[in-house]
Structure 1
């Protein structure tokens, strides 16, 4: 019998990994895939971010190489990092990472765990890592057929930004709340909120007009 699958979101502060450092220094946001740990101990990172982070990453001695390709106003990056990733400590305990976001030095991990026993182990691992706190947890609905609830193609963090923006009147004319108001309610920076909103809206529009 398959145990209950739980969607979990962690926030990480105080980490000095290259992506966190780059977003902190440039006040930008990075959306990343879960890092792949290689046999030599290095982590393969694949992420999308602002062009401004390239010089910061290029100057970081922990980055072995950096490849960038432009798409519209965003840049797709691939690199090898010698810095150990906090998310691997959670993954080793049973956390199935789906999406990572870095905004002004704060990391957000969204993924799933199977069963409360596994969750307990993941939380123990989180307690031993740097600045990891549990932000959200909820059961994965039986109607959802993906590892993380993405019927509309966006992450739980993007869904939360869209829902709260709607509740606070961000989409009304005239607006009852601006981006700063919604970001403050979410507990994130304005640029991070706008990035989640933009990606969530893009995913939603792609589904609607498909």
Structure 2
């Protein structure tokens, strides 16, 4: 009798243990699915919001900064006397025009304002309060527009060195404080390319001065 009771008792315990294990497994499965869903939602949200105020500031500032560089580069085609200055200006144009399009796309995606290429862009009033280092004022741009030959070459290189130094400063801020990966990568490319161009221009200025 005792043997029978012991067997029944053990069987009941085993059944209870199996049931409990199944319940725990089911709960564990539900929890895993919930965690996965929550993780996917968080990842999607992070992807959609993976930028910060610095990224917006960088794009909104660098677009008009690049636009002014393009204005200066276009002048070189007709006014520069040096083939090296013309080549540099064309490389600047080819590099910065696509970057303007890229940054404009980011801003539209983020629902932010895209700076317009207004004719007066980069003049003294705009530059003074824009917080964009290296921007030329109206006097500088007018002087460059009136110059030609070797005088243009010297003035173009002098102003563009200052312009590039401002762009590098802005890009360094983005590298340090930006969150959006493509923006910090672009900033790094700007630092690398424009630092090299600054060195190139300083060498050309040495030739021009000589």
TM-score normalised per structure 1: 0.28
Normalised to the residue count of structure 2, the TM-score between the two structures is: 0.28
Greater helix content:
2
